[in-house]
Copies of this chain bind each other. A is one copy, B any other.
Amino acid sequence: MAATTLKDSFPLLTLLGIAFLASVCLSSRSDQDNPFVFESNRFQTLFENENGHIRLLQKFDQHSKLLENLQNYRLLEYKSKPHTIFLPQQTDADFILVVLSGKAILTVLLPNDRNSFSLERGDTIKLPAGTIGYLVNRDDEEDLRVLDLVIPVNRPGEPQSFLLSGNQNQPSILSGFSKNILEASFNTDYKEIEKVLLEEHGKEKYHRRGLKDRRQRGQEENVIVKISRKQIEELNKNAKSSSKKSTSSESEPFNLRSREPIYSNKFGKFFEITPKRNPQLQDLNIFVNYVEINEGSLLLPHYNSRAIVIVTVNEGKGDFELVGQRNENQQGLREEYDEEKEQGEEEIRKQVQNYKAKLSPGDVLVIPAGYPVAIKASSNLNLVGFGINAENNQRYFLAGEEDNVISQIHKPVKELAFPGSAQEVDTLLENQKQSHFANAQPQERERGSQEIKDHLYSILGSF
């Protein structure tokens, strides 16, 4: 009886190595085996017109309960055509903004000042909650693409934006006040205030056309609008560029590639700005990284000790493998074997689970702390990652020459832990001369390059 009571209240699924209820919420067929991958169709369009769009990724904790620690983080993607501006607004959320491609001018307003920054690919800046800003695509040809990590301050995972200027979908915040408050605030007649600040652009057209035309309406909505070359130049006048020398300013943008990569060889490059390196990232405790894996190369198996990393595929294709654990629901395993062992004596087999995914631009991956991961590039692959809980994060590699934690194990323990002898383990580990990044098809490639070399020598030899 007591055993039954206990079983009801105490999960039997607790497992060897400490338990994990993999109660995964799956909501689509395409990635149903992988709670850690969001295909690009998991972004929802918040706004779209001929000048650009804003898209917000599904809530992490709605995708899978395994991601509940990310419930206060959202991922936002912004895209705009050349010579356009995203009009002034503020959001009740901290933003970390990364320019994925294109060229921008970002203006940030302060109560008694303003700062403009000239941004390009890899430039990153924190916009504190409530910042009023506007963003211009200053390029003549290239689209501007921006990725934002969004951390709301009012309600977990529910950011809300306030527009200074209104449109049909969302009026100006000023229009929310009553007439007498507005008249007293601006010391002006309401009619004048309405005419100068509030009247919605295209309001008449909208009413004339009616609801059925709503898919065309976007073109008149003034969230992302055209801006002339000349106007752009005016905004660009005092714009500062991201500091190339230092990444330590409190409020200025920094470029993810302005420092030496932390890992680099002919197969790839790994750039990372941590809270220690940049004070802007300290209060949010987030790192931002920028990874380039060359075609046919592999980011070697490794794990992050503390950080949960949200990775976005910026460019290229590849394969992602994440190793987690899953309980084995083998029948009979959860039955009792012995009447005397009533409590806490169940052992359940745990399965190692390979969470695989094919990667395309726009896909988003979550790499939980401690989960080993490897990424292979089938074409030049560029990834941008936000690491939550970044402080004191350590990256442990499981293969490669440097930073390989397996090679640090004492000889007698290698002997006891692995089927091979310590000598065999060491010999095996030494086969990989590369660190961090390596050739993804070593046999073929090495053979290939050897053939070329042989051929070259034979040619040289013939002289």
Contacts and interface: CB of A to CB of B under 8 A. Distances in A.
A195 interface: yes
Contacts of A131: 305
A351 B181 contact: no
A5 B29 CA distance: 9
A169 B231 CA distance: 67
B183 A111 contact: no
A405 interface: yes
A306 B130 contact: yes
Nearest to A174: B398
A178 B92 CA distance: 43
A452 interface: no
Contacts of A45: 344-347
Contact of A186 (B162, B227, B432): B432
Interface stretch (A7-15, A269-277, A287-295, A455-463): A7-15
B413 A185 contact: no
Contact of A304 (B9, B130, B397): B130
A18 B2 contact: no
B92 A432 contact: no
Which of A174, A181, A332, A337 neighbours the largest number of chain B CB atoms within 10 Å of its CB? Answer: A181
Contact of A196 (B175, B218, B424): B424
Given A432-B186, A438-B187, A211 B164 contact: no
B130 A14 contact: no
Contact of A28 (B5, B48, B175, B235): B5
A426 to B, nearest CB: 10
Interface in A156-192: 156, 158-166, 168-178, 180-181, 183-188, 192
A5 to B, nearest CB: 6
A14 B374 contact: no
Interface string A87-129: 1111111000000000000010111111000000000000011
A408 B301 contact: no
Given A111-B395, A154-B370, A168-B349, A6 B20 contact: no
A2 B30 CA distance: 9
Contact of A417 (B88, B192, B330, B332): B88
Nearest to A158: B20
Nearest to A55: B344
Interface in A307-344: 308, 321, 323-325, 330, 332-333, 337-338, 343-344
Contact of A425 (B196, B200, B330, B420): B196
A351 to B, nearest CB: 7
A214 interface: yes
A322 B200 CA distance: 21
A170 to B, nearest CB: 4
A137 to B, nearest CB: 14
B112 A408 contact: yes
A399 interface: yes
B170 A325 contact: yes
7 closest A-B pairs by CB: A130-B305, A176-B323, A196-B420, A44-B344, A17-B161, A92-B370, A9-B27
10 contacts: A9-B62, A17-B46, A17-B162, A18-B93, A111-B397, A114-B408, A164-B417, A197-B419, A215-B337, A231-B412
